[in-house]
Amino acid sequence: MELHPKFWEFTLRLSVAFVLGAIIGLDRTFRAKDAGFRTHILVSIGSALIMIISQYGFEDLVGVDTTRYDPARIAAQVVSGIGFIGAGTIILQKHIVRGLTTAAGLWATAGIGLAVGSGMYAIGIVTTILTLLGLELFPLIFKNAGIHTLLVQYSTTNYSNIKNINEEVSRCNGRLVSYSAEKIGTDENSVYRVNIVIRSINSETESYIINYIQQQPDVLLEKVD
């Protein structure tokens, strides 16, 4: 088996794609996202490999009269095909859409892999830095911007607590997007398990609502997401 003249160059490209994909993936792993560093590594090096194949895998056909050689054709399929993986990370639960950022991150990682696979190391590194800035720095700077969605699950033995909490959410300019309550047990020893989805314009409103629920008598806060 004869090695390609650019074998070590290809190895370097795959290695750089591995590192850059791992950097973005570790950020997602630390944030407990479904697509972690392993997924991002595979997307990055896979895209780099496909780009290398797209550029150099058909060299023996170059010069044949009937051959139409287009290195961008296979790479273009990666851009659209990675959407299937991204779609798998998006979840719709109780009127909350989650996973959009992770899906977009996978798509960007695929682009980074294609860039490195084509030998554009500098632009791949710059894109990685900008991606991390978008994932980490901007949310810190603009943490109070945009719409915040909060999923709260609690249980109570007093039905009036449910009404009080819902009214307080509206009073503090929160929007009650979804509400469900399940009665468990008999009338004498019944427990109401409640799920509510709240949207607000700032994190202070979220904190206030959580504290208000915790302060209510006979209320057990079970989950906040």
The values of phi and psi at residue 95, to 5°, are 70, 15
Q: How many CB atoms lie within 10 A of CB 73?
A: 10
pLDDT tens-digit readout, 82-104: 777 777 766 655 555 567 677 77
Contact 219/162 with Cβ under 8 angstroms? no
Task: Specify which residues 42 forms β-bridges with.
Answer: none
Domain chopping of the chain, boundaries: 7-141, 148-224
Higher pLDDT, 109 or 31: 109
Look at residue 105 in the predicted model and tell me its pLDDT.
79
Say how far residue 10 (Cα) sits from the centre of its chain.
30
- Structure tokens of 6? 């650019």
Cα 218 to Cα 225: distance, rounded to the nearest angstrom:
21
pLDDT tens-digit readout, 13-37: 888 989 888 888 887 777 666 667 7
Cα 104 to Cα 45: distance, rounded to the nearest angstrom:
17
- Structure tokens of 94? 């109780």
pLDDT tens-digit readout, 163-200: 889 888 888 877 887 888 888 877 677 888 998 888 77
- Close Cβ partners of 99 (under 8 Å, ≥ 6 residues apart): 33, 34, 89, 90, 91
Quote the CATH superfamily of domain 148-224: ACT domain (3.30.70.260)
Higher pLDDT, 134 or 138: 134
- Structure tokens of 77? 């399929």
Say how far residue 94 (Cα) sits from the centre of its chain.
18
